[in-house]
């Protein structure tokens, strides 16, 4: 009996030990699950604690800006006269080969007196100009002046009513991502409004670093050229000018002349009759990783100065070759068009403040802008105002100096004794004493008209040239 009890005890003890071992070492631990009450719903939390971009109370409203703009945007009609080849019918009937062609665009009224800003390419070669308001009244327009470089033109109409107009905004304060409206009158069907944002600033479409457009994704199509780009207050941020497209229609990119540049151009036209350009007096290029490595600097943003023009405002202010322009008037300079865009809104004798990096140190240098005394003349090359010593060298009292010959015609000029430093004294029988005289002499010349030049050659002899 004892043996049986002992055997049972040992067996029970072994079972207990085996079960304990299994529980302690082999059995997987299961997570504890607490069931939520069936009446509760899962809670979803946002990934950040920021509120939605626009609430019902502060959503963007474009209606006020549109109402303040549509009646100030007009339809511009341009009739040009072109000369075509004579046909047999023209010869037998005695008809002229001249043909009238019509182009259209938009414009923006900028004051109650009837001044209208548009693009130069809208009114180029105009024989007749007319403007139709948003109330369908049509007026004959006068061309006050235009600037091909900035593609800005100024028109004037004499209306029998007080005209609505758009006020200028400071385009330097426009921000990337800011809402804007593009307002145009492309088909003379009253004004059309589209909305978008500013996509970029200081865009150069030519690759010459001379342009500085505002880029927007507001839809702009042919016929909208010269129309208004306004902010949500209805203030003029830019003049719609161009699109990039392989089809000729809008594909998501449009460009506008900044309002600061447009305003400066028309103010110059009204006051001086031409555009007054303030010149900094430097030559250089924008930095990037490749350019920085080539010239041995660590900066990858800014404008590197390769050379400083003699007697320029930059030289007089102490700007040196090798300096890197980082800012102009508190505006960051990342590329050359940042610099030229700001300078396009300045005049001679204006002072700009530059932040330059020199050997790693930042310096603040004020520069007084000089008058533009250089010009690229067709066939000849680069010219500039002549100094007294330049004129004395050739024993003349007036003229402009050739500083660089046109590469295409350089051999021709050199064979005839015309070199850098020679003096041009007359263009089309008009005496020229400075670059402005040259520009005026060439302004109204037809491409088919003979160009007549009088030049003092390197021997001091007066030479006359006629070019077709």
Q: Which residues are catalytic?
A: 121, 151, 225
The answer to whether 75 touches 132, Cβ cutoff 8 Å, is yes
Is residue 409 a contact partner of residue 392, using CB atoms and an 8 Å limit? no
The residue whose two tokens read 């880029």 is: 215
Helix (H) or strand (E) holding 438: helix 435-443
- CA angle, 432 then 147 then 257, to 5°: 150
DSSP, collapsed to helix, strand or coil, labels residue 351 as strand
Q: What DSSP designation does 37 have?
A: P
Q: Could you please report the per-residue DSSP string of 275-308?
A: ---EE--EEEEE--HHHHHHHT-S--SSEEEEEE
The 8-class DSSP code of residue 96 comes to -
DSSP 55-73: -TTT----HHHHHHHGGGE
C-alpha pair distances (Å), 394 with each of 407, 425, 437: 24, 11, 20
- The contacts of residue 456 (CB under 8 Å, 6+ apart) are 394, 396, 399, 422, 423, 424, 425, 462, 463
Distances (CA, A) of 258 to 114, 279, 408: 21, 19, 35
* Partner residues linked to 129 by β-bridges: 78
Question: If you count them, how many residues does the chain have?
Answer: 468
**Pick from 169, 178, 328: which is nearest to 261 by CA?**
169
* Nearest in space to 158 (alpha carbons), one of 176, 144, 178, 172: 144
Q: Are 398 and 391 in contact (CB under 8 A)?
A: yes
CB 127 within 8 A of CB 119: no
Within 13 Å and on the Cβ side, how many CA atoms surround 274? 12
349: left (phi over 0), alpha (psi -120 to 50) or beta: left
The answer to whether the CB of 195 falls within 8 A of the CB of 69 is: no
Structure tokens at 159: 């209306």
- Asked whether the beta carbons of 175 and 220 are under 8 A apart, the reply is no
Tokens matching residue 174: 């426009």
């Amino acid at each position: 009996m004892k043996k049986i009890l002992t055997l049972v005890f040992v067996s029970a003890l072994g079972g207990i030990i085996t079960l304990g071992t299994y529980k302690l070492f082999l059995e997987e631990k299961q997570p504890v699950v607490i069931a939520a009450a069936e009446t509760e719903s899962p809670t979803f939390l946002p990934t950040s604690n920021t509120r939605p971009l626009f609430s019902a109370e502060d959503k963007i409203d474009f209606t006020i800006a549109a109402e303040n703009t549509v009646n100030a945007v007009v339809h511009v009609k341009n009739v040009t006269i072109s000369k075509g080849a004579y046909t047999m019918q023209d010869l037998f009937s005695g008809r002229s080969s001249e043909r009238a062609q019509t182009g259209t665009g938009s414009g923006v009224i900028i004051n109650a007196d009837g001044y209208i800003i548009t693009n130069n390419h809208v009114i180029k070669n105009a024989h007749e100009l007319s403007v139709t308001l948003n109330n369908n009244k049509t007026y004959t327009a006068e061309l006050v002046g235009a600037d091909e470089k900035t593609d800005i033109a100024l028109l004037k109409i004499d209306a029998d009513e007080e005209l609505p107009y758009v006020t200028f905004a400071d385009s330097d304060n426009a921000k990337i991502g800011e809402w804007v409206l593009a307002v145009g009158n492309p088909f003379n069907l009253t004004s059309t409004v589209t909305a978008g944002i500013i996509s970029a600033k200081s865009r150069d479409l030519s690759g010459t670093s001379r342009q500085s457009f505002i880029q927007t994704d507001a839809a702009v199509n042919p016929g909208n050229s010269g129309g208004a780009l306004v902010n949500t207050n209805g203030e003029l941020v830019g003049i719609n000018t161009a699109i990039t497209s392989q089809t000729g229609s809008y594909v998501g990119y449009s460009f506008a002349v900044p309002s600061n540049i447009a305003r400066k151009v028309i103010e110059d036209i009204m006051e001086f009759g031409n555009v007054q350009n303030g010149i900094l007096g430097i030559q250089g290029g924008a930095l990037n990783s490749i350019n920085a490595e080539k010239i041995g600097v660590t900066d990858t943003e800014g404008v590197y100065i390769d050379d400083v023009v003699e007697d320029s405002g930059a030289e007089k202010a102490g700007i040196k070759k090798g300096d890197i322009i980082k800012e102009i008037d508190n505006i960051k300079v990342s590329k050359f068009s940042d610099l030229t865009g700001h300078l396009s809104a300045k005049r001679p004798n204006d002072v700009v403040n530059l932040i330059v990096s020199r050997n790693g140190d930042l310096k603040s240098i004020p520069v007084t802008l000089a008058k533009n005394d250089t010009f690229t003349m067709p066939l000849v090359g680069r010219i500039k105002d002549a100094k007294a010593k330049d004129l004395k060298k050739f024993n003349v009292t007036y003229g402009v100096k050739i500083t660089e010959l046109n590469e295409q015609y350089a051999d021709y000029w050199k064979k005839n004794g015309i070199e850098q430093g020679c003096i041009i004294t007359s263009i089309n029988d008009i005496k020229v004493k400075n670059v402005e005289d040259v520009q005026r002499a060439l302004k109204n010349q037809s491409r088919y008209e003979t160009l007549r030049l009088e030049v003092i050659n390197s021997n001091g002899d007066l030479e006359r040239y006629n070019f077709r």
